[in-house]
Each structure stands twice: as C-alpha cells, then as structure tokens.
C-alpha cells in the first residue's frame, strides 16, 4: 500500500504517522490505513478506538498490516457514514503509555445513493427472471 496522504498524531511520548491509501476520505470507500510510531513498532503495543459520527465505538488491538509487516494497520476497511470520526490511539512502549487522537471528516459516499445503485444493478436480474418465466410458460403450453 502506498500512502497518498499522512497525518501526524502525538500519542503521549510517541509521534505516530497515520497513512491513508486514498484521500480525501469518503464514506463506504474501502482503503488501507497504516499507523507507524517513530522508531517502529518493535517493543510497543497499542489499541485503536474508532468513534463514528453517531457515537458508535469499535476498539481493537493495533496489529501488523498484512502487506507492510513493519507497521500497524487496517487492510481494506471502510467507514460507513459521512461526518466526524475520531481515531484514538493508546500506545504502550519503553517510554510508558501514551494516548492521542486524530479527528477526520468523511465526505459523502462516492457514486449514486445506494438505493439507486441497487435498482440499476438489479435490472438485469429482474429481466433474466422475466425471460425465464416467459420461456417456461411457453414450454408448458406447448406440452398441453
């Protein structure tokens, strides 16, 4: 993953570089996130709490990124809704524990609204079902 945008966060004594594979961030857009404390992740552990605009929280251990093993990260994740999101880092390492926050504003999702997308993409399936029903009825009539 190549970070196209980075932000700096101070988590206690640890400066952390947060990288994004897409910028600007949009709701429901899958992307990679990387979290790299100065000096690397060796000898450090941490948690990430993500708080959404509606107040929902998701907390988990910071784990190695699957393709960049020297940093922590999230692989192909999306945030569900536009608005203000907060990433809260708690890092524990040789200099003791530290906490920091990164506040992000997500834009509206790319493309048309989901209802329109589903309606357009369902059209061929509905047409196929109608074709099968018409063909089945014709074959059934022919047998009589």
Q: State residue 48 phi and psi, 5-degree precision.
A: -125, 125
CATH number of 73's domain: 2.60.40.1220
DSSP character at residue 137? H
The mean per-residue pLDDT over the stretch 57-84 comes to: 92
Residues 9 and 78 in one domain: yes
Residues 74 and 136 in one domain: no
Residue 118: is its pLDDT beyond 90?
Answer: no
pLDDT value of residue 29: 87
Coil, helix or strand at residue 5: strand
For the chain, what is the domain count? 2
Residue 1: is its pLDDT beyond 70?
Answer: no
pLDDT tens sequence across 43-66: 999 999 999 999 999 999 999 998
Q: Is the pTM of the predicted complex or chain greater than 0.85?
A: no
The mean per-residue pLDDT over the stretch 29-39 comes to: 92
pLDDT tier at 11, thresholds 50, 70, 90: very high
Residues 104 and 127 in one domain: no
Residues 72 and 123 in one domain: no
CB 11 within 8 A of CB 98: yes
Residues 122 and 107 in one domain: no
C-alpha to C-alpha distance for 100 and 6, rounded to whole angstroms = 15
C-alpha to C-alpha distance for 136 and 79, rounded to whole angstroms = 44
Residues 144 and 106 in one domain: no
Structural domain of 123: 112-144
Closest among 79, 92, 72 to 30, alpha carbons compared: 79
């Amino acid at each position: 993953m190549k970070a196209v945008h980075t932000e700096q966060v101070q988590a206690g004594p640890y400066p952390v570089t947060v990288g994004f594979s897409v910028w600007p961030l949009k709701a429901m857009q899958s992307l990679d996130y990387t979290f790299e404390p100065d000096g690397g992740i060796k000898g450090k552990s941490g948690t990430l709490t993500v708080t959404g605009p509606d107040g929902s929280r998701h907390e988990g251990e910071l784990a190695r990124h699957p393709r960049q093993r020297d940093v922590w990260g999230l692989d192909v994740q999306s945030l569900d809704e536009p608005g203000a999101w907060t990433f809260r880092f708690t890092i524990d390492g040789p200099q003791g524990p530290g906490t920091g926050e990164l506040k992000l504003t997500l834009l509206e999702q790319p493309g048309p609204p989901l209802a329109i997308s589903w309606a357009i993409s369902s059209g061929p399936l509905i047409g196929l079902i109608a074709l099968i029903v018409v063909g089945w009825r014709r074959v059934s009539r022919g047998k009589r």
